[in-house]
Amino acid sequence: GNAYLAALRLPALLDARADELADELDESVSLAVADRDGIRFIHQATRRRAMSLSFRIGDLLPAERTAPGALFATEWTEADRRAWRERRAADPEDRGFPAVPSREHPWPDEEFERRAAQAAVDGWALDDQLIEPGLVAVAVPVRDPHTGRIACAASVVSHTSRHTAAGLRDTLLPRLRAAVADMERELRQTSAPEPGSGPSGLATWTGASKQELGRGFVESLARGLTVLTAFGEGRAALTLTEVAKATGLARATARRALITYEHLGLVTATGHRTFTLTPRVLSLGFPPLARTTLAEIATPHLADLSARIHESASLAVLTAHGDEIQYTARVATNRVMSVNLTVGTRLPAYATSMGRVLLADLPPARRTLGEPRPLTPHTLTDRAALDRLLTEVRTRGYALVDEELEVGLRSIAVPVRDHRGRVVAALNTAMHTTRRTPAECVSDLLPELRATATAIEQDFHTAGRFTRVPTS
C-alpha cells in the first residue's frame, strides 16, 4: 500500500490541504481515487466525535453509493459501464464491499446514471445518505494539470444532525471548491520527482530468509511481493527491465509476477511498455493496518523484550491533562512477586520513569506536574529539582526511577518517537530492587530497551506513513 501511495504522490502533495480544510470546517475531509467501478480512500482527515467517519485508507466502496463515484463515472467508457452493470446484477446487496452496510433495497441503474450525468454538468456531486442513514457528503473533482482527467476527488463528509445534504452543499461547497483550486495549483506547481533508484537486494534478502527458515518460507510468494515494492516515489511507471533490476529477480521471474498481478488487477500495463500499480494494491492489508494502534504495533515487540530480559515490559502515554501516564500495552512476567499493573492503569507522571521520559520532551512551560507529593520517602517533589532532572532525562535519553513510586520498585524507561522525532510514548521495564542494581539496569536493560524502541518506531513509521496511527 505504501508503495502505491508513494508512487501516486497525491497524499503527500494534498494531505496538508485536506487537513487544513477539515480543521477549518470542523468536518471530516476525504481524498479518494477510482478503482474500476468503486472508489478507494487515499487520505482521511476525520473529526473525533461520538458519531464519526469509520472508513480507513484503502477501503473500497461501490461507486454508486458515494459522491466521488458519480464524479469518476463521468469518465467511464461503455466497457466500464457494462462492467458496473454486471457487478450490480451479480451482487445487488453489495456484499462484496465489506466496508459498507449491505443494501436491502437496490435502486435502478438509471438513478446512478442520472446522478453521474448531473455531476458532469455541475462539477460536483452529492451523497444524500446513500451509504447509510445520517451520512451526507459533497465531493469535487481534483484534476490532473497535464491530462485534465480526474486525479482524485475531495469530499466533505458530515451527519444529518449537523447538516442536511442540501445544507452541506449550500454552506460548504464554496469552501470545498476553493480548497480544490488550491490543490490543483499545488499539482501544477510541483515538478516531477527525480527517478528513484528503488529498493536494492530484495532477491538476496528473500534468498537469505529461505536459508534461515527453510521449507517454512515460501520464497516464490516473497519474490512476488518484492515486485510490488519496486514501485514508489519517482518509480510510478517501470519497465520489465527496471522491475527486474530493482528486485534483483530474473527477467522471466519478474515478467511472470507482473502478468499475474495484471490479471489480478493490481498492476496495469501502459502504452509505453511500462507498468504501474493500481488502487487495488491498497486492498492487500492496508484497510486493516489503517486501524492499527501504536499499542497493537508495540505488543509483539514488548513480548520479545520481556522474553529476553525476563522482566515485564510496558508502553504508556501522557493523559490529556498531562499530569498522569496511562498504560496502553503491557506484557507481564510470571513471577511470585511481580509488578501488578494492567492496561488502562494511570500513575502520576512526575514519579514514574515513563512519565519523566514523556515530560522531558515537552517545553518547560507545557509540563504539567500537578501537585507533586511524596509517595515514598524517596519521591522527588521539588519543582525546580524536577525540572532540572527532566532536562537531564532529555539529554541522556532515558529515565531511571528508584523507589519513588513505591518502596522496592525500580524502573527504567526510554522514549518512542514519531517520524518527526517527537516523543509519542514511553517504553519501560520495572522490577523489584533486589533483582538488579541501578547500574545493572543501565548496563543490561537500557540497550535492550533502546533496541526495542527502535523496532517499534520502524513499524510505527511504516504504518503511519500515509495514515494517522492512534497512540492512545
Q: Which three cell numbers stand for residue 276?
A: 504501474
- Shared domain check, 249 and 127: no
Residue that finishes a domain, picked among 189, 220, 251: 189
Total Cβ atoms within 10 A of residue 84: 22
175 occurs within a structural domain: yes
CA dihedral (359, 365, 366, 367) positive or negative: positive
Distance, in Å, from the CA atom of 203 to the CA atom of 108, rounded to the nearest integer, reads: 50
315 and 446 together in one domain: yes
Are residues 349 and 389 both part of a single domain? yes
Q: Would you state the pLDDT for residue 79?
A: 94
- Any residues with CB less than 8 A from the CB of 221 and at least 6 apart, and which? none
Q: Residues 6 or more apart from 347 whose CB is under 8 A from it?
A: 324, 325, 355, 405
Look at residue 5 and tell me if it is in a domain.
no
pLDDT at 304: 94
The domain that holds 254 is classified in CATH as 1.10.10.10
Spatial CA neighbour of 361 closest among 304, 305, 332, 322: 322
Domain boundary (290, 317, 340) is at 290
d(CA 316, CA 361): 14
Q: Are 104 and 226 found together in one domain?
A: no
Residue 207: predicted pLDDT: 46
Residues 6+ apart with CB under 8 A from 445: 309, 311, 412, 429, 436
Task: Say yes or no: 60 and 161 in one domain.
Answer: yes
Residue 219 CA to chain centroid, in angstroms? 28
d(CA 240, CA 251): 7
Asked if residue 369 and residue 254 are part of one domain, the reply reads: no
Q: Which residue has the cell 514511553?
A: 426
- 77 class by beta-carbon count within 10 Å (0-12 exposed, 13-18 middle, 19+ buried): exposed
What is the number of domains present in the chain? 3
In terms of domains, do 184 and 207 share one? no
> Is 17 within 8 Å of 472 (Cβ atoms)?
no
Separation between Cα atoms, residue 53 and residue 159, nearest integer Å: 9
> The domain that contains 29 carries what CATH number?
3.30.450.40
Non-local CB neighbours of 257 within 8 Å, separated by 6+ positions: 223, 224, 227, 249
Cell numbers at residue 459, please?
A: 513499524
Q: Provide the H-helix boundaries in 364-445.
A: 383-396, 438-440
**Residue 133 zone, left/alpha/beta (φ > 0; ψ -120 to 50; rest):** beta
Q: Is residue 470 part of a domain?
A: no
Contact yes or no for 338/332 (Cβ under 8 A)? yes
Residues 206 and 314 in one domain: no
Give dist(CA 214, CA 197) in Å, integer. Answer: 31
Helices (H), 269-406: 286-290, 294-309, 353-360, 383-396
For residue 70, being part of any structural domain is answered with: yes
pTM across the whole model: 0.62
For 347-392, how does the pLDDT look when each residue is reduced to its tens digit (9 = 90+)? 999 999 999 999 999 998 888 888 899 999 999 999 999 999 999 9
Q: Is residue 109 part of a domain?
A: yes
Evaluate whether 176 touches 156 at the Cβ level (below 8 Å).
yes
pLDDT of residue 206: 47
- Cα separation, 179 vs 157, in Å, equals 15
DSSP-derived secondary structure letter, 346: E
Closest CA to 177 of 393, 382, 335, 25: 25
Residue 434's contacts (CB-CB under 8 Å, 6 or more residues apart) are 408
Q: Which residues of 440-459 are buried (b: 16+ CB within 10 A; e: fewer)?
A: ebeeebbebbeebbebbbeb
Q: Are 286 and 4 contacting, i.e. CB atoms less than 8 angstroms apart?
A: no
Rounded alpha-carbon distances, angstroms, from residue 224 to 166, 206, 262: 48, 10, 12
Whether residues 260 and 215 fall in one domain: yes
From 266, 290, 314, the end of a domain falls on 290
Domain assignment of residue 140, yes or no: yes
3 within domain boundaries: no
196 part of a folded domain = no
Q: What was the pLDDT predicted at 3?
A: 59
Element (H, E) at 17: helix 10-25
Low-confidence ranges of the chain (pLDDT < 50): 50-51, 201-211, 336-337
Q: Are residues 344 and 359 in the same domain?
A: yes
Q: Are residues 220 and 331 in the same domain?
A: no
260 and 339 both lie in a single domain: no
Domain of 118 in residue numbering reads as: 11-189
DSSP 307: H
